[in-house]
Chain A
Amino acid sequence: QVQLQESGPGLVKPSETLSLTCDVSAYSISGGFYWGWIRQPPGKGLEWIATIYQSGSTYYNPSLESRVTILADTSKKQFSLRLSSVTAADTAVYYCARAQRWGGGLYGYYFDYWGQGTLVTVSS
């Protein structure tokens, strides 16, 4: 069964760039699935950030698109998230997940396997 594990700094200073990596085991990320990032501020709901297909097609939440980059390294079986110019509003648990794609547009995915999540706090 596919397993995902997030890693990265737990503390990032305001205005800096948040960088996280998701390691995928028991499945090749160059297979037929999409891979994504979702976040959850403490005590709040879920927000989709970005999705990637293999090492190519990327899809971003328009509300975050100007600050977000998602990349995949199929040889290392990992994909990553970079979020620039962070503020306290970016403090959240960040989850990586496998996405199942549906439909002909840009955004049709649900998330069937999730990592355990990693808390990132933005503070000086």
Chain B
Amino acid sequence: DIQMTQSPSTLSASIGDRVTITCRASQDISRWLAWYQQKPGNAPKFLIYKASTLQSGVPSRFSGSGSGTEFTLTISSLQPDDFATYYCQHYDSYFPVTFGGGTRVEIK
């Protein structure tokens, strides 16, 4: 299976900060990567697919980049609604879907 490793596991930031979360795949997954946001007690919300394409309705302060084995999710100016846990997920079609361990973004 492909292992997805996120860093950091927890990130403390303030409103207005630029925030970057890293996701590394244990092997080349091209750009087959999705990102999700999850708030406590809620289901994950789909944000990004194909590493950098925003789902309709996702604020433009979110962006994704990367290819191969290293990917990033960036929030350009952190808003109160953005405090949550973020997960990456590969969808290379030749290997079972796996998710990263999550990055919790908390208030500094």
Contact = CB atoms under 8 A, between A and B. Distances in A.
Interface of A: 45-48, 61-63, 95, 100, 102-117
B43 A117 contact: yes
Contact of A109 (B45, B55, B91, B100): B91
A116 B43 contact: yes
A63 B46 CA distance: 25
Contacts of A107: 91-97
B44 A110 contact: no
Contacts of A105: 92-95
Report whether over half of chain A's contact residues are helix, strand or loop; otherwise say mixed: loop
Interface residues of B, number: 25
Contacts of B42: 116
A108 B93 CA distance: 4
B101 interface: yes
A100 B46 CA distance: 11
Contact of A110 (B34, B95, B96, B101): B34
B87 interface: yes
A104 B30 CA distance: 14
Q: Which 8 residue pairs across A and B have the least CB separation, nearest first? A: A103-B93, A108-B93, A105-B93, A105-B94, A110-B34, A114-B43, A48-B97, A46-B99
Contact of B32 (A48, A62, A108, A111): A108
Contacts of A61: 96-97
B102 interface: yes
B89 interface: yes
Nearest to B49: A110
Nearest to B43: A114
